[in-house]
Chains A and B, each alone.
Chain A
């Protein structure tokens, strides 16, 4: 491993993946919160909210993430002057998180909505019959069952999110794929090795995540 035995290169490698992990963590939380809200909107009895949820999903799910992240820099930050931090790296990080969250929220929303469809209609009807409001029905009866039904698909969304974070490199954050580019540039004769190490690191992190979600899905599934 001649490339990675150089401590400077190894530090770059570690720092690149730290950015990936941070972005994945923060975006996952934000996307989950947003996604739940959107899913609630999409099944709500208020037409405006339903319309808003549908518009969000259709816009962000069908736009390439590269463009969304790019817009966060050149649209939000450059044109609309939305600055999220004075530090240039942190600013790029948060702009990236914004892009990743709004994009991933669309997928979370659709996964949850498919989960809501697995909950028998009688449950919601019964909940309404005993006098629960729409919000209570959703919160106490429907969403807990819907969420447990879609744990495996949400795991796929999380895995995709983690890999998507590399796109934030286009606005200059030195995350793993940019570090990989730099290392390849400095060590053009070891391209395959560098490539395999970076791909391997992603796989090493994400394969256990996949199994974890598979196991959780089994454990938490609503037995009917």
Chain B
């Protein structure tokens, strides 16, 4: 009896301590402006500092062919190539990059809580997100579009009334459909791959997200010839590289790296190696727009 009581007290104490630890995590996660890099024993600040110590955790997508796709333990795609360019620019080895799979809904929390140092995951820069995280870039200009079966008659988002449209919980495209095309029925999944499966089985009439992501799916071998991208983008989605709100120095540094990549050919090489397979020529990286660091 006595033993059980002692054990119970000990368990309660451990639980309380765990909770307390959670609480203090939250405190540093909200970033009250005390400066970044308060992590254990790391004196350097922010992403630049962590890169200097040789390792960087980068959040990427795992289910988007051409952009960020996980096969086995390896990741490949345009976003991954961008991660490599940035790592190189920060003076660290590619092998020091630790990729962390993110989905649309957990990118801000991951950055704010320090689960990842950078997010390069088809991450649209917008004002709402800018209040929470800092954005380097944009390194690519995408636009929201529709992916429909090859025989579909849908040619513009206005024709979505009464149709079933699939997107991902918490993503910008889902929000835009909810706000601007209220007559469409929105099916939400936690990943685009499920949307594509539903589209292949005709449970939904269209999948919506950025054109470049859709092109990646349309060109996957198992779906060849089955889908088409409508080709009328109805938004501008500048892709940025997300990092902590108070890490402006690293943000500026990444923009410099992007500027260099635009001219030294590494940006074009990254494109040709990945999304270039879709037949689209490499876009220009517009260095005049790299002004989002705050």
Chain A residues proximal to chain B, CB less than 8 Å: 74, 77-79, 87-89, 92, 170-172, 174, 178, 181-182, 184-186, 188-189, 191-192
Contact = CB atoms under 8 A, between A and B. Distances in A.
B91 to A, nearest CB: 29
B26 A192 contact: yes
A41 to B, nearest CB: 34
Given A188-B109, A191-B113, A88 B132 contact: no
A185 B170 contact: yes
B170 A174 contact: no
B190 interface: yes
Interface stretch (B39-47, B72-80, B196-204, B281-289): B196-204
B132 A188 contact: yes
Given A172-B189, A188-B112, A189-B112, 10 more contacts: A78-B201, A171-B189, A172-B169, A178-B188, A182-B170, A185-B109, A188-B108, A188-B109, A188-B111, A189-B31
Contacts of A185: 104-109, 170
B60 to A, nearest CB: 17
Contact of A74 (B112, B164, B170, B197): B197
B292 interface: no
Nearest to A92: B187
Contact of B109 (A78, A79, A184): A184
A89 B178 CA distance: 14
Contacts of B111: 188
Contacts of A79: 201
Contacts of B108: 185, 188
B29 interface: yes
Given A87-B185, A189-B29, A182 B109 contact: no
B3 interface: no
A181 B109 CA distance: 10
Given A74-B197, A79-B201, A189-B29, A88 B187 contact: yes
A174 B188 contact: yes
A15 to B, nearest CB: 13
B197 A78 contact: yes
Contacts of A89: 185
B187 A172 contact: yes
A53 B243 CA distance: 55
A171 B108 CA distance: 23
Nearest to B111: A188
A189 B109 CA distance: 7
Contacts of A92: 187
A182 B185 contact: no
A85 B29 CA distance: 44
Interface string B152-171: 00000000000010000110
B186 interface: yes
Given A78-B197, A88-B164, A181 B188 contact: no
Contacts of B26: 191-192
A77 B109 contact: no
B224 interface: no
Contacts of B203: 77-78
Interface in B99-137: 104-109, 111-113, 128, 132
B6 interface: no
A181 B164 contact: no
Contact of A172 (B132, B170, B188): B188
Contact of B186 (A74, A88, A170, A188): A88
B1 interface: no
A188 B133 CA distance: 10
Contact of B198 (A78, A181, A182, A189): A78
A88 B23 CA distance: 39
A178 B168 CA distance: 11
A13 to B, nearest CB: 15
Nearest to A74: B197
B98 interface: no
Nearest to B174: A182
A184 B105 contact: yes
B170 A181 contact: yes
Contacts of A88: 164, 185-187
B151 interface: no
B170 to A, nearest CB: 4
A143 B22 CA distance: 48
15 contacts: A74-B197, A78-B197, A89-B185, A172-B169, A174-B188, A178-B188, A181-B105, A181-B169, A182-B169, A188-B112, A188-B132, A189-B31, A189-B112, A191-B109, A192-B22
